[in-house]
Amino acid sequence: MQRGEIIRYVDMTIAEGINLQRGMNYNVPGKNYHIILMSVRKNAPYADKWLPEENAIIYEGHDVQKNYNFSSLPSDKIDQPMFNPSGSLTENGKFYQAAMRYKETNISPEIVKVYEKIKDGIWVYNGYFHLIDAWQEKLDRTVFKFRLEMIDSDIEEEKLHDTTELELEHNRLIPTEVKIKVWARDKGRCVKCGSDKNLHYDHIIPFSKGGSSKDPNNIQLLCQKCNLSKHDNIE
């Protein structure tokens, strides 16, 4: 799977081998990474945020599960929990403690695979990120915040245990507003052949040759076949 690939929810679950009903998925069975589902769309339930100049994401933690909410207030009005009623860590707690282990020791940061919801039924694979920080932020309630920084997406999953092989790839994040504009402009189809299958967000002038990720005029939709045939040639 390539960064920028557009994928259906059902195909996401098949690719990962789990039912991705939760937005935060720590310790994916059989994988050496974790998974988060994010969205910065209008009216998204959580305040996720892109930092494109820093190749980073600020991801907001998740609310208490409804069956664990014993308050008279709705879940989005009470503090996000670190622990379940049983005393076990919530997904917030697991990600938080992983970030603290990285900050307090010399271990490598945890690797997180990120998918982003663009609109109903449409998701984009955003690549692999390092989980490097976490904190609790007091607003009208206490929420968790996590900082994740992008790492090279062109890695094989079996090499994920050796993070020394990963190199930071600068300024390649395509902001959500650009993705939405390009999707609407290209009408959800490959600009070359018109296919609506196996689509990717593609740099017209390749990133490796100085092309911008932030200009919609430099981003287009290509199907996998057309994308592979293009490679790094400037048209």
Are 16 and 30 in contact, with CB atoms under 8 Å apart?
A: no
DSSP code string of 98-117: HHHHHHHSSSPPEEEEEEEE
Of 6, 2, 21, residue with least CA distance to 180: 6
Rounded to 10 degrees, the C-alpha dihedral 76/80/86/87 comes to -170
Has residue 166 got a pLDDT over 70? no
pLDDT in tens, 112-136: 999 999 888 889 999 999 999 999 9
Residue 232 burial by Cβ neighbours in a 10 Å radius (0-12, 13-18, 19+): exposed
Q: CB neighbours of 231 closer than 8 A, spacing ≥ 6?
A: none
pLDDT in tens, 50-62: 998 888 999 999 9
CA distance 41 to 48: 9
Has residue 170 got a pLDDT over 50? no
Give the number of C-alpha atoms closer than 13 A to the C-alpha of residue 169, restricted to the C-beta side: 20
Cα 60 to the center of its chain, rounded Å = 12
Has residue 11 got a pLDDT over 90? no
> The pTM is what?
0.79
CA distance 164 to 181: 36
Matching CATH number, 6-173, of 2.30.280.10, 3.40.50.300, 3.40.50.720, 1.20.1250.20: 2.30.280.10
Has residue 156 got a pLDDT over 50? no
What pLDDT sits at residue 233?
52
Give the start-to-end residue ranges of the domains of the chain.
6-173, 174-235
Give the chain's mean pLDDT. 86
DSSP state of 83: B
Query: Helix, strand, coil: what percent of the chain each, to 5?
Result: 25, 30, 45
Q: Binning pLDDT at 50, 70 and 90, where does residue 19 land?
A: confident
What pLDDT sits at residue 106?
80
